Structure 1
């Protein structure tokens, strides 16, 4: 019933294997000027494909979804309104061993005719096979003949589908699921599943489409159905909305779960979709979760709603305190800590009112910029955080939120002699300042070791400290 994924890769994925090169001290001095979103989903291979690798192999089929804002592309470097994008991704384990490398080229329209529907977002996917385990994906896109470049990093957690227990695949979020009989790489189960790598839904995409697969259903004549239901969880993991359970006839030991939920009544914020699967015959249950965001307004107004940024309980009050600690004074934080929940709600409203650079406008521009940076930091630095989600809490995430996007980034890559480190340069910060981050442990977690900005960590011997780290 499920697609033959080996054939799908041959038809839809042309890739080049790149050996892991030893990169010297050559510096990349560039500004990441293209915003890239990444997402992924893992599915089980069918038995025929698994057998090709021999017994005991725990291989999964992994789809990498990426999205790009086409409005950021350089229109002066295109021909007949088409831009050429050079893309690559490298997958490593947490010991920095190279697992796989792919590179490919795509063309896209710079002035898309469907701009009103897609908001200039280009969506695409690549597919590969990985053994069960945890990996780091480094993704890069460059517009040909320009200095436009975008980079993104993401943790891949590949499940083990080899046992016979009831299981669900990962959830693929989608923007649509129209019937389609073509051989497109987006087609699954006779539907065009257009991936939504941004994980954002709102006014132009009010239906949360999703695709998943159920494995190891127990066939039998006594009860040949399984039950599936859906729940929406809020940012704290509590059930926000539940949908009634449906009983579905088993097509065999595996089945496709494909649906769409109208989320137009959900307030702005972060949520999780949860699929609940039950097999009455085997008395087994399985669940899968996927994070998504609701943003109903355009970027210029999406953060004017107070409901998302005023704490509704003490847990949210702690989260908001952590966010505000980046820009609040110590006196303000001490005052916040002494208040009850009602007082903290009033404090947050007054705090942002004081920060509003132009009270005559209907939006608080400073507040919009602050939370937009938090969102972007979560996208860029989540793989460095302890929970793989809160990228804004990392060293690089904090600097990004407080000071914004650097004008230039120098990246010094790994060799046998040198561990990775980065230099972020801000030309207009305090007359020119920079930040040095070092991947001291070699696991892709960059920590601040030195800066010339006032109030930040300053170590005049930072170069010597890097050398000492190298020599250990």
Structure 2
């Protein structure tokens, strides 16, 4: 059972007690609220969760019956030129009734910092310091886009995935930093739930509703759960709500009891019933098997092909799974730091902690090995992973269908890979540029990949597609 510690501000000095430095675990993210009431500045909120038992507590006075801890948190907002453009910080006290209370596992400390930002691309870095022990932790938030704020188009904010969202109004005993529009939000920054959890809550906001105070009207919100590959998993319901104003709060509670361990996307579709405008957002989340007290993962090492890969190959594999920014961070670490990064990454991406194997890693390793076997063009058969076909195979797995055009009357050979189960259908076109098994990606309908709408006509004419 997850207990909740509501933090409060208490600006006091403390004589620090030195201890061996440990790294604090930080769970965080960013939520963007593009409310037109903010004009051209979007509100960025950074929910933060910490583990209480990682902090050191002390008695302020010998006669005190309670223990006290101290926490400092700061977030730096960084623009696309790597310049810190804004920051926010907080300093607060923790309280424990005993040493046993202070050391209890699965007790979270929640807090939230806020900033405002113009349209653009940003990253953020969060720093946490245990003021008593001097232990520290850092959390890097991958690049995110702050969109232009619309004052006419129906739009939704990001959504909090939370343990609980409850209306509390202006209750004096509630931490105001966890309250938004009268709702106390206990955030789950990881967006990870257990198969033993029965439900999760969401909070978001809807803007630019067609509102007339003299005429009642409604908006509708529809919820669907999608699988990781964007295929449909479950209809979660829909609700019609009377418009309170030109903006509205959207909150809901979803029953996930019995859901299998998987990575999901929560699809939220909002529709203004009078203007007929719609907006859709997606919020990814995961359901995992609960972590047992003892599972000997070393049992899988003997037969796990991951451990047959060299360290360089393990990094090669990860390069297509993590973001370019995360890869840059990995490459700038020491050898020991890189080893720890790889271990932590796969630990966090183990969806079933009840088995010795990491099934998701096994799948990626299988793809890596097969990509070398199938798409290498050297004698040692070890460079297929770095080819375009190898990259796509590692990221998306085996295709559902393939069209192969080998040695056409004019032009080069090419292949079209179809992934029917990805969203509304994705495909990739590879052309043998040199006629020497040098297949390169020349077109795809996947965002971020090379795109050429005239690819079919160009290849049929025997002209090589220009991708450089």
Q: TM-score, normalised by structure 2?
A: 0.56
Residue number among 36, 39, 50 corresponding to 1:68 in the alignment: 50
For 2:68, the equivalent position in structure 1 comes to 82
Preserved CA contact (<8 Å) 2:165 2:184:
yes
Give the aligned partner of residue 105 of structure 1.
91
Whether the 8 Å contact between 1:176 and 1:194 is mirrored in structure 2 is: yes
Q: Tell me, what secondary structure is at the counterpart of 2:170? A: coil
Q: Which of the residues 99, 107, 112 maps onto 1:120?
A: 107
Distance 1:13 1:154, change over 3 A: farther
Contact 2:53 2:103 in 1 (8 A): no
Q: CA 1:116 to 1:398, structure 2 compared with 1: closer, same or farther past 3 Å?
A: closer
* CA shift in 2, pair 1:118/1:206, >3 Å: farther
CA distance in 1, matches of 2:96, 2:195: 23
Corresponding residue of 2:425: none
Aligned residue in 1 for 2:421: none
Pick the aligned partner of 2:266 from 255, 258, 273. 273
Shift of residue 201, structure 1, vs aligned partner = 1.8
Tell me which residue corresponds to 1:433: none
The equivalent residue for 1:328 is 308
- Closer/same/farther in 2, CA of residues 302 and 281 from structure 1, 3 Å limit: farther
Map 1:12-23 → 2, pairs under 5 A:
none
Unaligned runs of 5+ in 2: 1-7, 12-19, 346-468
CA distance in 1, matches of 2:190, 2:58: 27
Distance 1:61 1:118 in 2: 33
Deviates more, 1:70-79 or 1:227-236: 70-79
Deviation of 1:99 after TM superposition, in Å, equals: 0.7
- Corresponding residue for residue 167 of structure 1: 155
| Alignment deviations for residues 197-255 of structure 1 (CA, whole Å, 9 cap, x no partner) | 23222267432100111111223688822221111122222221112322222222211
Q: Which runs of 4+ in 1 moved over 4 A?
A: 12-15, 75-79, 110-118, 220-223, 301-304, 388-398, 401-405
Worse-superposed segment, 155-164 or 227-236? 155-164
Match of 1:44 among 34, 40, 64: 34
| Larger Cα-atom Rg | 2
2:191 equivalent to 1:253:
no
Relative contact order higher in (CA < 8 Å, ≥ 6 apart): 1
Relative to 1, partners in 2 of residues 1:266 and 1:123: Cα closer, same or farther, differing over 3 Å? Answer: same
Q: How many Å separate the matches in 2 of 1:13 and 1:161?
A: 33
Cα distance between partner residues in 1 of 2:155 and 2:101: 38
Q: Is the 8 A contact 2:74 2:88 kept in 1?
A: yes
- 1:86/1:244 CA distance change after superposition, 3 Å: closer
SS of the equivalent of 1:145 reads coil
The answer for the alignment partner of 2:117 in structure 1 is 130
| Root-mean-square deviation (Å) | 4.2
In structure 1, runs of 5+ residues without a counterpart are: 1-11, 16-29, 51-57, 310-323, 334-369, 406-472
Mapping of 1:190-209 within 5 angstroms?
190-202=182-194, 205-209=197-201
Aligned equivalent of 2:166? 178
Residues 309-350 of structure 1 show CA distances to partners (whole Å, capped at 9, x for unaligned) of 9xxxxxxxxxxxxxx7753348xx9xxxxxxxxxxxxxxxxx
Q: For each residue in 1:31-88, what CA deviation from the matched residue of structure 2 results, as whole angstroms up to 9, or x when unmatched?
A: 66111011221113453x53xxxxxxx2111111111111222356988422101222
Where 2:88 maps in the other structure, the secondary structure is strand
Q: State how 1:49-448 maps to structure 2 within 5 Å.
A: 49-50=38-39, 58-75=40-57, 80-109=66-95, 119-155=106-142, 156-182=144-170, 184-202=176-194, 205-219=197-211, 224-298=217-291, 300=293, 326-329=306-309, 385-386=323-324, 399-402=339-342
The 8 Å contact of residues 41 and 64 in structure 1, kept in 2 or not, is answered as yes
Cα distance in 2 between the residues matched to 1:151 and 1:216 = 37
Cα 1:253–1:401 change in 2 (3 A) is: same
CA contact (8 A) 1:385 1:394 kept: no
Moved more, 388-397 or 190-199: 388-397
Q: C-alpha displacement at 1:187, in angstroms?
A: 2.2
| Aligned pairs, number | 307
Name the CA distance, whole Å, in 2 between partners of 1:392 and 1:92. Answer: 15
TM-score norm. by structure 1 comes to 0.56
Contact between 2:78 and 2:124, CA under 8 Å: does it hold in 1? Answer: yes
Contact 2:69–2:132 at 8 Å: present in 1 too? Answer: no
Change (3 A) 1:402 1:101: closer
2:53–2:102 CA contact under 8 A, matched in 1: no
1:33 alignment counterpart: 23
| Alpha-carbon spacing, 1:59–1:181, altered in 2? closer, same or farther (3 Å) | same
CA contact (8 A) 1:326 1:398 kept: no
Alpha-carbon distance in 2 for matches of 1:78, 1:290: 44
